[in-house]
Amino acid sequence: MFAGLKQLFSPSNKDLRKRIYFTLMCLGLFCLGTTITIPWASALYQELGFLEIFNLMSGGGLRSFSIFALGVSPYITASIITQLLQMDIIPYFKELKEEGYTGRQKINRITRYLGIIFAFIQGYILTIVYMKGMSSLDILKTTVVMTAGTCFLLWLGDQVTTKGIGNGISLLIMAGIIQSMPSMFVTTFQSLVTSGSYSTVVGSLLFALFVMVYILIILGVVFIQLAERRVPIQYSNRTNSAYGAQTSYLPIKLNPAGVMPVIFAQTLLAIPTTIVALVGNDAAKNFVNNYITYTSPTGFILYVILILFFGYFYTFMEMNPEEMSKNLNKNGGYIPGVRPGADTTDYISKVIGRLTIVGSIFLVIIAGLPIIFSKFSGLPSSVTIGGTGLLIVVGVAIETYKQLESSLVSRSYREGRRHRR
């Protein structure tokens, strides 16, 4: 790692350093925008419940009702929907998926248009729910500003992807979460130590335990994100002089779904909360708070079930065992001891299924630990989604580092070839 950093600052990697500086500048611009509150709006001080995940990803912009209050969450929602539509739900989307690069470009364009529509709808709903007493004109202006903010962030993410390092949208989400982390720890310290709810000694011990839990979560996330099962593959049409048939492997991640099952579950459980907030019925609001929100026992069980379900669903949506088996067969590859065709498909399905069980249980632990800790210590809802935030941050950081490392290796290889000539 340190050798890679030393190589990064060598004179030959000046262009790569420029890309990193450009990325940091764009992320700084995003962080600055989250602090600019819409002039005729006001900051939110009430509990946001399941909307805390969107506040976290927007760098606290939702709570401050900034120009970037929505962040890129409408785009994430649109992306989830377009991914679902590619699963034989609408034939047109499946055809686009099979068209290759051209089809992906069309899907990306549709996702962006959907994201803008969702940004307008979400901005309008949030303004009506949280900005009571605002005139119709101000509601419209606020909605337009929030939608424009999301459009600007999508453009900024594209600039980072093409001119910087890493995936722009993912890095914006990571930057928002990192920006929100200090305030989360300050809130926790105030709730446990300085609020008077506990004695100084007990509160300090609880805060130390809280920090230890998060350190363990970080270590666990790093391990799970890097862990993979390597299924041995042999190619009958590729040989080397020493061993005959060339042996390779098929890497399958322990948690191929990433954080998406948690976001799916939180998005789904946020719908009833949003509806009752719009309706304003006290009986419905009490029912949702007592039985559906994750702070209630039944809501937490429902939350766990949804994470497990979406863990399986998203994994098999991203990794199709039948397609993997066909690709192996086309390239002359096979799994030793397993017949090509249906047997290979079944074998890969079983491997993915077993790994998904472990990965989904891990997601439940990561998402559930802060909720359980907060429940018994009386911490606010802004703390309960910290585990999800860490999962996103570590995942994006690992992928960005791998891309940076790959760029350094590629440049080093090109430099070596140039010197040999």
Q: What is the pLDDT of residues 361-396, one digit of tens each?
A: 888 887 777 777 777 766 666 666 566 777 778 878
If you average pLDDT over residues 91-117, what whole number do you get? Answer: 83
* Least reliable range by pLDDT among 59-63, 241-245, 287-291: 241-245
Nearest to 134 by CA among 70, 275, 38: 38
- Percentage helix, strand, coil for the chain under 3-state DSSP, each rounded to 5: 75, 5, 20
Q: Which residues pair with 247 in a beta bridge?
A: 234
pLDDT band of residue 344 (cuts 50, 70, 90) is confident
pLDDT band of residue 241 (cuts 50, 70, 90) is very low
Indicate the length of the chain as a whole number. 421
Is residue 397 pLDDT above 60, yes or no?
yes
User: For tokens 């006001």, what's the residue?
Assistant: 42
The pLDDT score that the predictor gives to residue 420 is: 58
The pLDDT score that the predictor gives to residue 137 is: 87
The pLDDT score that the predictor gives to residue 182 is: 80
The pLDDT score that the predictor gives to residue 279 is: 72
What confidence tens digit (pLDDT) does each residue in 170-227 have? 888 888 888 877 877 888 888 888 877 778 888 888 888 888 877 887 888 888 878 8
- Residues with Cβ within 8 Å of residue 28, at least 6 apart in sequence: none
What is the spatial distance between Cα 148 and Cα 145, in angstroms, rounded to a whole number? Answer: 5
What confidence tens digit (pLDDT) does each residue in 264-298 have? 787 777 778 777 767 767 787 788 878 887 777 88
If you average pLDDT over residues 65-80, what whole number do you get? Answer: 85
